Structure 1
């Protein structure tokens, strides 16, 4: 189909965290592979890892454990994995382009009426404890997300079992923005939102929410979906099963785009005006 070109300017950016803002995906892989090696199991292939990314912890763990066939219980695996996370996650770093992107968007909110503000919110499947573990040493970076505009995987405002690839987390993230807009600013519509995701379930969640999407995956995930990029961008890889397919996009509809990194982000393409840095 012909791609849509008459989009309104983006007024809100909604961000995933793991593998999108932070370099956590390789840390996750390292932790899992250390456990697999301990029990003489093969290393985690990207064909399986791709199914884990972006999902809430319980559903991701079930997929992994069904594949891994470890000689330990799920609770024992969780304990060993958590111990490795405690050791390694405090060393997470922002991915290339992330600090510049976030600070640029924040400047739109501080510029006054001459520059339309672009609001931001966080929408991560990580539970609050893991979120803190990964970000406590990056307080300056994450301070751009107001506390009420941070949606985590175990957020009480979310319905249990409705994680990515279902759209709830992004719809809630948008609600947190609309509920706290300055007086007189019109509510933001889904099509005025830009979702930033690295995972395939996350892209599908954004598309199901009726939002535009930037897909910025790990190079190995991109390789795993070689030849299926348009399916990913349309949210049509079937990650959520055969439910509500009318909510996903169409191939080549122009609502989603692949980027190799978040460096030198094309703000103008999305109708965002970034004010210059004040001297």
Structure 2
């Protein structure tokens, strides 16, 4: 739990998949369909290795680990086709996500999204929630952003996201930036950037997989006032 000595948070950055949007089941279904055609399952231990990483890195890990008899490009085409199927369905928000985003926006706290999602899947997944996502100052899609040459767990994704707040309102002290993440790689990236990490992991994830500033079971448990942010009304 944050201490009284915790710096007052001025900016907040959110991951998206598994944190704001309940997408993980759909990802597992899509990838499972592809690898299942080659006689493989998609175990959670393998999923752990790719969570939070750029799409290209995840593809390499899956193809190499399972020794699939296809190229990275062929796998990418197959899994993209599956993504179009599963993400064309309604994707619900994670518990507590809407309340927190709307609260911070209403109180004038600068908020952004930094996701490793592909651009076309981002558009599919967020289509039912466009009004909510319009509340973010900006959205960084790391997998397709030319400034991001090293994905999570490298800190670049979050450092670039922080630099894109309006001039004159950019954080200069990274310890006053709060990052919400569900992946180990994402928490490692936030920590490496010198930011405060709040980890909301998959229930299957061992709680000692990474050290976050705070670990929660759900965004519903988050108390903004513990970070110097306005409390819920």
> RMSD of the alignment, in Å?
1.9
**Which 5+ residue runs of structure 2 have no aligned equivalent?**
none
Query: 1:104 maps to which residue?
Result: 103
Contact 1:214 1:259 (8 Å CA) reproduced: yes
- Given candidates 65, 73, 76, the residue that maps to 2:74 is 76
Sort the Cα spacing of 1:137 and 1:180 in 2 relative to 1 into closer, same or farther, 3 A.
Answer: farther
Query: 1:65 maps to which residue?
Result: 63
Instruction: State the alpha-carbon separation in 2 of the partners of residues 27 and 275 from structure 1.
Output: 32
Instruction: State the alpha-carbon separation in 1 of the partners of residues 219 and 18 from structure 2.
Output: 12
Sort the Cα spacing of 1:187 and 1:209 in 2 relative to 1 into closer, same or farther, 3 A.
Answer: closer
- Given candidates 152, 156, 159, the residue that maps to 2:141 is 152
Contact 1:108 1:275 (8 Å CA) reproduced: no
What is the CA-CA distance between 1:130 and the residue it aligns to? 2.2
Contact 1:178 1:188 (8 Å CA) reproduced: no
Q: Does 1:204 align with 2:188?
A: yes
Query: Hey, which bits of structure 1, 4+ residues long, moved more than 4 A?
Result: none
TM-score normalised by the chain length of structure 2: 0.92
Query: 2:8 maps to which residue?
Result: 9
Q: Does 1:173 align with 2:161?
A: yes
Please give the residue correspondences for 1:96-135 in structure 2 after superposition, counting only pairs within 5 Å: 96-109=95-108, 118-135=109-126
Instruction: State the alpha-carbon separation in 2 of the partners of residues 96 and 275 from structure 1.
Output: 16
Query: 1:247 maps to which residue?
Result: none
Query: 1:86 maps to which residue?
Result: 84
- Superimposed CA distance per residue, residues 82-121 of structure 1 (whole angstroms, 9 cap, x where no aligned partner): 1111111132211111000100101111xxxxxxxx2101
TM-score normalised by the chain length of structure 1: 0.77
What is the CA-CA distance between 1:129 and the residue it aligns to? 2.2
**Which 5+ residue runs of structure 1 have no aligned equivalent?**
110-117, 235-255
- Superimposed CA distance per residue, residues 103-148 of structure 1 (whole angstroms, 9 cap, x where no aligned partner): 0101111xxxxxxxx21011111132221122122101211113xx
Contact 1:11 1:188 (8 Å CA) reproduced: no
- Superimposed CA distance per residue, residues 203-232 of structure 1 (whole angstroms, 9 cap, x where no aligned partner): 000000001010001112x2xx24x25xx1
SS in 2 for 1:177: coil
Please say which structure displays the higher CA radius of gyration: 1
